[in-house]
Amino acid sequence: MEPHTVIANPAVIDVLFTLLPGSLILDWAGPAEALRIANRHLVLQGQSPRFHMRFAGPTAQMPSSVGAQLAGLEPLPPYTFARPTWVVVVGQPGEAIDVQVPEVQALLHWLRGLRLQAGRVELVTVCAGSVLAAHAGLLAGRRATSHHQHLEELARAEPRCDVVANRVFVEDGAVFSSAGVTTGIDLFLHRISAVCGAPLAAQVAQAMVVALRRGPHDPEFSPFLAYRNHMHAALHRVQDAVSQAPQSAWSVPRMAEVAHTSPRHLTRLFIEHADIAPLQYLRRIRLAVAQAALQAGRNVTQAAETAGFSSDTQLRRAWHQFGLDGTPAART
């Protein structure tokens, strides 16, 4: 196999969807739409797109799971990935994967040549895509999940895989696996958040009218993603503005100006749709920014200033108000 080359442009990520005849269309179309919307929001914010999507398969034309014909697919590429690459493997209809089909054999042969490395070449599976990855030998010694109907099949395909049940998705180094169908969107929202930030992932979820769900290693929702499972456009507009500039001198009247409503009505909207008061939401967002600053090595005073708190004391009060363990100083 050809060696992997050095990454030339780490700012852009190639997302390579590998498709087979009958590939479940929602397994790949949902995540692809999430990436497209993420790119659009980045451009609207004056940034460059981060995701370059490619669609490849053993043949240039094939039917999808719903019968629509896919055409113009590129061949499975050489292993000379010049940029960070996510290789996406998706599910097939039926109770089990037929690995004797020539196209499946061709994809498995190509997958066996991958050399996975976190941050460089990573594997993302949706639904029974993890079964294909297992047959290719990519899940030995890994933790992974699949659709509940395919969990036993996954364990048989790779006995050395730690098969995890009842999870939306699972991360293990350079391998990311999701339970299937709509959970592929959950996984890609999680990955968008890691690359572009939680506020942008929340905007993508809002655009897709998708309820954000907790990830495998997140004991609680990110504050940027919590309080967003509603469809009130004006309230989302305020939450976007606060999340993007939490250090600003926010007040309820200023938030109300963003929403084009009265301060009193905005407070009602927050309580009704987000189940939190406006200034409490602001403090929660600022607290998340301060936590990130502390984890990055800032001291308490620097973290408070970065997040928009007026003093160390105000940061400590918010810390205890939201029931965080320990003290801010203990996190430095």
* Domain identity same for 186 and 233: no
- Of 138, 109, 106, which Cα lies nearest the Cα of 122? 138
* pLDDT at residue number 6: 39
Q: What is the pLDDT at residue 205?
A: 85
Residues 182 and 115 in one domain: yes
- The domain boundary residue, chosen from 146, 180, 199: 199
* Spacing of C-alpha 311 from chain mean position: 34
Q: Domain containing 117 — which CATH number?
A: 3.40.50.880
Same domain, yes or no: 234 and 182: no
Please give, one letter per residue, the 3-state secondary structure of 56-116.
ECCCCCEECCCCCEECCCECCCCCCCCCCEEEEECCCCCCCCCCCCHHHHHHHHHHHCCCC
Q: Is residue 205 part of a domain?
A: no
Residue 193's pLDDT is 87
How far apart, in whole angstroms, are the C-alpha atoms of residue 305 and residue 45? 24
CATH number of the structural domain spanning residue 330: 1.10.10.60
Q: Which domain holds residue 289?
A: 227-332
Is the same domain home to 246 and 190? no
Q: 């997040």: which residue's tokens?
A: 307
| 258-266 contacts, C-beta under 8 A, 24 or more apart | 259/234, 259/235, 260/234, 261/234, 266/235, 266/238
Token pair belonging to 148 = 């509940």
Instruction: Name the amino acid, one letter, at 227.
Output: Y
Q: How far is CA 196 from CA 45, 126, 188, 208, in A?
A: 12, 21, 12, 17
pLDDT of residue 182: 83
Tell me: do 125 and 22 sit in the same domain: yes
Instruction: Give yes or no: residues 35 and 148 share one domain.
Output: yes
Q: What is residue 323's predicted lDDT score, i.e. its pLDDT?
A: 82
pLDDT the model gives residue 2 = 36
Look at residue 118 and tell me if it is in a domain. yes
- Split into its structural domains, the chain has a count of 2
Residue 8 maps to a domain: no
Q: Is residue 310 in a domain?
A: yes
Distance between CA 77 and CA 90 in Å, rounded?
A: 17
143 within some domain: yes
Task: Give domain status of residue 242, yes or no.
Answer: yes
Check residue 1 and give its pLDDT: 35
In a domain, 208, yes or no: no
pLDDT tens track of the chain, all 332 residues? 334 443 444 589 999 999 999 999 999 999 999 999 999 999 999 999 999 999 999 999 999 999 999 999 999 999 999 999 999 999 998 889 999 999 999 999 999 999 999 999 999 999 999 999 999 999 999 999 999 889 999 999 999 999 988 778 899 999 999 987 788 998 999 899 889 987 888 888 878 877 555 454 443 346 777 787 676 888 988 998 998 899 999 999 999 999 999 999 999 999 998 889 999 999 999 998 888 888 778 899 999 999 999 999 999 999 998 888 778 876 55
Whether residues 128 and 231 share a domain: the answer is no
Instruction: Specify if 2 maps to a domain.
Output: no
